[in-house]
Structure 1
Amino acid sequence: MENKNTLELAISGDINAFQILFAEFQNQLKSYLYRLLTDRNDVDDLAHDTFIKAFSKISTFNQESSLKTWVFKIATNLAYDHLRKLKRWGADAQDRAADLAISSEEIRQVFWMVHDNSPAGAYEMKEHIDYCFTCISKTLPIENQVALILKNIYNFQVNEIGIILEKTEGVIKHLLNDARNIMTDIFENRCALINKNGVCHQCSHINEIFNPKQDQQEELMKLELVKASKKYNREQLFALRTALVKAIDPLHAAGTDFHEEIMRCLRTAIGEKSSFFDKKTRNAYEDNKTFEE
């Protein structure tokens, strides 16, 4: 709960007081926005816009919810305005990214460069499961995705999500039920970690590429999701997956930079970006190429 005196100062227009309160959930807000937007630059822009808009309207905050819920509502509306201009992702988005990476020597070189040189360029299978969860959640309608992520990953209550999405609790429960069913179906049909007939082997393939001396099966068996795949039903496996995802901050993990490049490749493959290379990536690639020569 917000410090009452600090909140009163913030509502009265004290920007320092507002900054103190905003900072308490800023990292979580950015993590949430990344799961919706999958682009660090967009996250930084929208987090900044959220701060500006929230402070400019702080006098209208009626304290019927927590300040955090109120700010997340503003951020969600800004994200929704951004996302509704884009098509929702298909369940095969990761396959298309893999095809692009395989066909491009430049992209593969960037992956290796980030993996070898970045302090956040490691490959961790559990982080890739988090990345996969983010990608699959983007196949959902936006409201379903928002409801699912807020409830399952960030522990918002149904009534709080109702405030954020301006829906009744009954509608939110319906959105959550549909989202979980769709996600569970996709994972059951695609994920080779939990179903031997799954079509997606991306986790193990990337592990094999970047950790050639690592015992692949040993890494797999460290994951409760894999160990439980033969004895748990699909709903229990989805719960294990969300528990794993909940424990990871996609912006501050061992493989954050590496997965940012994979996500950039994916967005290029499905047409959200005109080119894999932004200015920063191109410069890093050219510098590395020059060094090797």
Structure 2
Amino acid sequence: MEREDILKSAIAGDINAFQTLYAGFQSQLKSYLYRLLTSRDDVEDLTHDTFIKAFSGIATFNQESSLKTWVFRIATNLAYDHLRKQKRWQPDAQDRAADLAISSEEIRQVFWRVHDNSPAGAYEMKEHIDYCFTCISKTLPIENQVALILKNMYDFQVKEIALILEKTEGVVKHLLNDARSTMTDIFEHRCALINQEGVCHQCSHINEIFNPKQNQQEALMKLELVKGSGKYDREQLFALRMVLVKAIDPLHASGTDLHEEMMNCLKTAIGEKKDFFERKHDQA
């Protein structure tokens, strides 16, 4: 069956046809939601809610955009409702997480167990840069964060982002410029991978824990971001970061379980989560 015929069937209420189309971008949708929500449980919940809400309202889909854009708009609104209850993260959130981990032998032991036993517990420098991008993007206002991620990570056009955010294209361009400027500033002052001060404290500390020391410089030099740091300006370096981050699926990378625990530690450190071990006790 041709795609247009499948879409017609979906709009007519055929749930199997809708599922076929939805499956084509579901992986991207989940990855996108994770970058906004930073919780795999919340991603599963909102992905399910998005499917239900989209299919329930499919008769209102007027095809002014692609179905993917229309569904991302629904998911974004659901995520916005979820996130508006939370405070924006501060640039020092990862420092506070590192301080908590250093002060807690129990938390460090969790990191070690995941690293040693989980098939997705590896530590790789490029994945940690992706993790840092996700954390730092949480310092942006939600609309700026959404615009940046949709444009840089998932190749949405400005006109599509305008439909998703229900803004004019001019406003979206302004959101993008502000987001890139803020992210570039934060990366320049916090991530020392690309300046004379050497590797940032967090990358260095974690890499030394989970990888042999002698492999650290070798791992760094494999990254185009580091190799090009002497010849690019800060905007070009930000663009290199985006290329690296775009290539990583934060939900299916080799270190995603380790980063999940690091994220739990961070949320505990900033007060977004009451107890690092709360989720584990609930599952026990």
Question: TM-score per shorter chain, which class?
Answer: over 0.9
Instruction: Give, in whole Å, the separation in 1 of the partners of 2:178 and 2:17.
Output: 40
Query: 5+ residue gaps in structure 1?
Result: 285-293
CA–CA separation in structure 1 for the residues paired with 2:79 and 2:47 = 10
User: What is the number of residues matched between the two proteins?
Assistant: 283
Hey, what does 1:47 align to over in structure 2?
A: 47
Q: Deviating runs (4+, > 3 A) in structure 1?
A: 197-200, 278-284
1:239 & 1:107 partners in 2: Cα distance? 34
User: Contact 1:189/1:195 (CA < 8 Å) preserved in 2?
Assistant: no
Q: How does 1:156-175 map to 2 (within 5 A)?
A: 156-175=156-175
User: Quick check: 1:256 aligned with 2:276?
Assistant: no
Counterpart position of 1:149:
149
User: Structure 2 CA distance, aligned partners of 1:283 and 1:226?
Assistant: 41
Structure 1 counterpart of 2:68: 68
Which whole-Å CA distance do the structure 2 matches of 1:279 and 1:232 have between them?
A: 43
Aligned CA distance change for structure 1 residues 225 and 280 (closer, same or farther; 3 Å): same
Instruction: State the partner residue of 2:177.
Output: 177
Tell me how far apart the structure 2 counterparts of residues 68 and 150 of structure 1 sit (CA, whole Å): 12
Give the match for residue 112 of structure 2. 112
Q: How far apart in 1 are the matches of 2:214 and 2:253?
A: 20
CA distance in 2, matches of 1:282, 1:205: 30
**Distance change in 2, residues 1:135/1:198 (3 Å):** farther
Shift of the alpha carbon at 1:278? 3.3
Q: Is the 8 A contact 1:190 1:199 kept in 2?
A: no
Q: Hey, what's the Cα distance between the residues in 1 that align with 2:3 and 2:133?
A: 35
CA-to-aligned-CA distance 1:85-131 (integer Å, 9 cap, x gap): 00000000000000000011110000000000000000010000000
Is the aligned partner of 1:139 residue 2:171?
no
Aligned-partner Cα distance in 1 for 2:198–2:214 = 23
Q: Which residue of 1 aligns with 2:15?
A: 15
In the superposition, the TM-score normalised over structure 1's length comes to 0.94
Check the 8 A contact 2:6/2:17 in 1, yes or no: yes
* Cα distance in 1 for residues equivalent to 2:140 and 2:239: 18
SS in 2 for 1:193: helix
| Residues 193, 199 of structure 2: 8 Å contact kept | no
Match of 2:278 in 1: 278
| Whole-angstrom CA distance in 2 between matches of 1:165 and 1:194 | 34
* Partner Cα separation in structure 2 for residue 196 and residue 89 of structure 1: 27
Letter in 2 for 1:206: I
Structure 2 match to 1:235? 235
Q: Could you tell me how far apart the structure 2 residues matched to 1:262 and 1:65 are?
A: 38
Which sections of structure 2, spanning at least 5 residues, go unmatched? none
Q: Which residue does 1:205 correspond to in 2?
A: 205
Q: C-alpha deviations, 1:128-160, integer Å up to 9, x for none?
A: 000000000000000000000000010000000
* Cα distance, 1:196 vs structure 2: 2.8
Deviation at 1:176, TM superposition (A): 0.3
Cα drift, residue 200 of structure 1:
3.7
Percent identity between matched residues is 82
One-letter amino acid of the counterpart of residue 95, structure 2: D
Counterpart residue type for residue 176 of structure 1: L
1:190 aligns with 2:190: yes
TM-score, normalised to structure 2's length? 0.97
What secondary structure, in the 3-state scheme, does the structure 1 residue paired with 2:85 have?
A: coil
DSSP-derived class of the 1:273 partner = coil
1:111-130 matches, cutoff 5 A: 111-130=111-130
CA distance in 1, matches of 2:173, 2:266: 31
